[in-house]
A and B are shown apart, each in its own frame.
Chain A
Amino acid sequence: MSAFLTYLLNGLAVGCAIALVASGLVVIHRVTGVVNFAQGTFAVVAGLCVSSLLGLGIPHGVSELAAVAVAAFAGLLAGVAAIGRRDTTPLSSLIVTLGVGVLAYAVEIVLWGDQPRSAPGLAGSVTLAGARIQTQHLLVIGVTAATFVLLALFFGRTYLGKALTACASNPYAARVVGIDVRRMGLLAFALGGLLGGLAGVLVTPLRPISFDTDVTLIVNGFAAAVFGALTRPVVTLVGALLLGVAETMAAGYGYGSHQLEVALGLMIVVMIVQASRRSTLSQEVT
């Protein structure tokens, strides 16, 4: 029972990290209509940055904030490449984000090499109802919860957040009232970078990060985002938590080398179910 609880709590922490990557995908897709395949890159950039900054002796807190800021800037640059040119279609932008991800590999290898890097996080563990959980896992859960609350407040209560929602809701109407939709899209990319960066700095102490870790991150993040139809943050969070728990259970009960396959399998099932739901809906309409 305590093993089950341990896997469950650790799975929730893994799910929270996935949720941060996925929420970046959702924010960008809601505002711009672009599926950003460079989303995992932001986490990798932040993870590699934080390992370097801590290695240079810069204190915790400052290092993590700086790494997240770098990831947000990387998000902005990816946005400029993907939607900077007017009238770029979302499909063309998607291809550009794939290119950005590949280019990022080269930059990361030049700057950090191709060996995995890690960073120290919160040491120690706590016992909850007989289950041991690393303190870093609790930090991941806490930061993710706070981030989702702040995102909800930002989009629901602030003028800028509502303007971003307006761009997602009706881009033409947003232009009619004078909102610069492209600039809002760039802001969404920067926010996506920030969320990916948060995932990166939180995950790096738990598992080493290298230039190609983005594949695992984006597959997991995309699976959760698809669960939320790439538009609903709360459903995305639920999807990410389910995915994190499923992967951790699979690893805990002896299928540790098949975590990515679990994510891919779940993603395919969700996509098939959603596609069939849409097909049924369209038949009912016609």
Chain B
Amino acid sequence: MIDVQDLVVSYGTATALEHITLAVAEGEMVALLGPNGAGKSTLANTLAGLLKPASGTVRIGGRPALIPEGRQLFPDLSVADNLALGGWRSGRRDPSTVYDLLPRLAELAGRKAGVLSGGEQQMVAFGRAMMSEPDALVVDELSLGLAPTVTADLAAHLAGLNRSRGLTVLLIEQNARLAFDLCDRAYVLESGRLVTEGPCSELAGDPRVASAYLGGAIS
């Protein structure tokens, strides 16, 4: 469960998020759409506990984990070490269950994370987040810079975890088609404010959303 009430986050005198209120129920997968500079990553970092709110509250049911924008791996360390450090909070060092989930990572275990392809790095970031045994997962730009087939593969894993383990997911995306495919509900964030929210089926029909995120056409 993720519950955000009247959240304000500032960088010095600049306000990045203004009075954000959103909720993701336990086991639900919800999307947050927004253009560059909307404050999506600020919200992701706040939910992960990396930024302190100026006001408002953030409540997470259980342990949160973040897949940050741009993967943010430890490039000098091996895949196995990246995964092991993902278990820093949970105390779990053995990545075998992550290898069961993402067998490709077992093949890459000894390679340095910095030399992997973008898709492989995103898979490591995904596996690293799962090492903390999260109850709520915030995914910041899953599809950024990845080929559609790689994105689809990772999205399928995410949806599978949401269904099979009841993992709560907030999917922060610019790729509205992906978000609408995966989630039932979505919020739209612009310039630090939530401008609309609702079922994805309705948002896809909203002319403003279609114009801004779906190239003006609704599929």
A residues sitting closer than 8 Å to B (CB atoms) are 159, 162-163, 165-166, 169-170, 172-179
Contact = CB atoms under 8 A, between A and B. Distances in A.
Interface string B72-97: 11111100010011101100010000
Nearest to B87: A177
A175 B84 CA distance: 15
State the main secondary structure of chain A at its contact with B: helix
Contact of A179 (B48, B81, B84, B85): B85
Given A170-B72, A174-B74, 9 more contacts: A159-B84, A159-B85, A159-B93, A165-B76, A166-B85, A170-B73, A170-B74, A172-B72, A176-B68
Find the residue from A174, A175, A176 having the highest chain B CB count within 10 A.
Answer: A176
A176 B77 contact: no
Interface string B129-150: 0001000000000000000000
B50 interface: yes
Contacts of B72: 170, 172-173, 176
Interface of B: 48, 50, 66, 68, 72-77, 81, 84-86, 88-89, 93, 128, 132
B53 to A, nearest CB: 16
A109 B73 CA distance: 47
A165 B68 contact: no
Contacts of A162: 77, 81, 84-85
A185 to B, nearest CB: 16
B42 to A, nearest CB: 13
Contacts of B76: 165, 169
B60 to A, nearest CB: 14
18 contacts: A162-B85, A165-B74, A166-B74, A166-B77, A169-B75, A169-B77, A170-B72, A170-B74, A173-B68, A173-B72, A176-B48, A176-B50, A176-B68, A177-B86, A177-B88, A177-B89, A177-B132, A178-B88
Contact of A178 (B73, B75, B132): B132
B141 to A, nearest CB: 14
B167 to A, nearest CB: 18
A162 B76 CA distance: 10
